[in-house]
Amino acid sequence: MSKYLVFGHKNPDTDTIASAIAMSFFLERQGYDAEPVALGTPNEETEFALNYFNVEAPRVVTTVANEVEHVALVDHNEPQQSVDDLADVTVDYVIDHHRIAGFETAQPLYYRAEPIGCTATVLLKMFKEHDYDIPKSIAGLMLSAIISDTLLFKSPTCTNQDESAARELAKIAEVDLEKYGLELLKAGTNLSTKTIDELLTLDAKSFDMNGRKVRIAQVNAIGFEEMQAQKAELLTAMDASGYDLFVLIVTDILESNSFGLVSGDDFTQVEAAFGTTVIDNELLLPGVVSRKKQVVPQLTAAYEK
């Protein structure tokens, strides 16, 4: 029986790591040999969750075809966000909650993507549909994923399904949802120890928007002062990245507002997408907290006009 490697996108966030672990456990319950792996090291928020629930971080890989023939993808489907040798393996499963872009396979597969706030919410449905019990530690990680992706239910991506799933998982994990949720989110806002490169790659995804190479990074913070003080250094690094457009979204998780730093040759699409003017490579984004719902679709539409 073939072994599956299960992994999410590059620059993994909490949903990516938690969903890889949960999906691997699901596949094992189905009778397969499966291992969660990661396409990068966990961030501090994810490390907090892993340590809290005493789960070992998945090992980091850069290639998969040298190990297996079959893989399962979680929390992504776009090839540019995936492992570099994805074309050399067979994708048998995709569990996701993002748009579908640039993804195709030569063979049928199990593909499940729902327009909800978190991949872990989709996975909870799958566990329940098969009447599989979820271990306390995995339930805790899945809960952490929902808290992270929905900013403790403040994000516009959050649905009633996500909130209901979180409350169900909190019971299994035996934690106080609100208290644990705030501790988890705050763990991801420690920016003082990070280099400029780490800030720009901590949670960054690449997109092809009408033939243009676009990079969108997001950093969660408490207040904007620390990131604004590093504006010049951040922009210098963004300018050297080679992307047609590089947008860094800095989100205040307590106030549910963001500001953006923008690098590139032309800000026309950015200004059209958000109905505002870029001044000195910066724009205000009041009420914006979700890259998936409040940034990517707007920029994609602007580039296609």
Under DSSP, is residue 170 helix (H, G, I), strand (E, B) or coil? helix
pLDDT at 254: 87
Q: The pTM is what?
A: 0.85
For residue 96, what is the DSSP state? Answer: E
pLDDT at 27: 98
Phi and psi of 28, rounded to 5°? -65, -40
How confident is the model over 183-188, as a mean pLDDT? 93
17, 141 contact by CB (below 8 A): yes
How many C-alpha atoms does 156 have within 13 Å on its Cβ side?
11
42, 12 contact by CB (below 8 A): yes
Rounded distance between C-alpha atoms, residue 121 and residue 132, angstroms:
15
CA distances from 240 to 82, 200, 207, 252, 262 (A): 23, 12, 17, 26, 13
Structure tokens at 29: 């319950």
The pLDDT tens digits for 99-132 are 999 999 999 999 999 999 999 999 999 999 999 9
For residue 279, what is the DSSP state? Answer: B
**Distant-in-sequence contacts of 35-39, Cβ < 8 A, 24+ apart:** 35/3, 35/4, 35/5, 35/6, 36/6, 36/7, 37/5, 37/6, 37/7, 37/61, 37/64, 38/7, 38/8, 38/12, 39/7, 39/8, 39/9, 39/10, 39/11, 39/12, 39/82, 39/83
Residue 292: pLDDT above 70? yes
The residue with tokens 């996500």 is 162
Rounded distance between C-alpha atoms, residue 69 and residue 89, angstroms:
5
Bridge partners for 246 per DSSP: 215, 263
Residue 305: pLDDT above 90? no
The pLDDT tens digits for 193-217 are 889 999 999 899 999 999 999 999 9
pLDDT at 100: 95
pLDDT at 31: 96
Cβ-based neighbours of 65, under 8 Å, separated by 6 or more: 85, 88, 89
- List, as residue ranges, the binding site: 9, 13, 15, 75, 97, 149
Locate the domains of the chain by residue range.
3-189, 196-304
How confident is the model over 226-255, as a mean pLDDT? 95
Mean pLDDT value across the chain: 95
DSSP calls for 189-228: T--TT--HHHHHHTTEEEEEETTEEEEEEEEEESSSHHHH
* Residue 191 banded pLDDT, cuts 50, 70, 90: confident
Give the whole-number percent of the chain exceeding pLDDT 70.
100
pLDDT at 1: 57
pLDDT at 270: 94
E-assigned strand segments in the chain = 3-7, 33-38, 59-60, 70-74, 90-96, 110-113, 204-209, 212-221, 245-252, 257-264, 282-285
How confident is the model over 21-34, as a mean pLDDT? 98
Bridge partners for 247 per DSSP: 216, 262
- List, as residue ranges, the binding site for Mn(2+): 9, 13, 15, 75, 97, 149
* Residue 224 banded pLDDT, cuts 50, 70, 90: very high
The residue type found at 147 is: I
pLDDT at 192: 83
Bridge partners for 70 per DSSP: 4, 90
Bridge partners for 205 per DSSP: 216
* Residue 67 banded pLDDT, cuts 50, 70, 90: very high
Q: CATH topology for 196-304?
A: Diaminopimelate Epimerase; Chain A, domain 1 (3.10.310)
How confident is the model over 124-150, as a mean pLDDT? 98
Q: CATH topology for 3-189?
A: inorganic pyrophosphatase (n-terminal core) (3.90.1640)
Under DSSP, is residue 273 helix (H, G, I), strand (E, B) or coil? helix
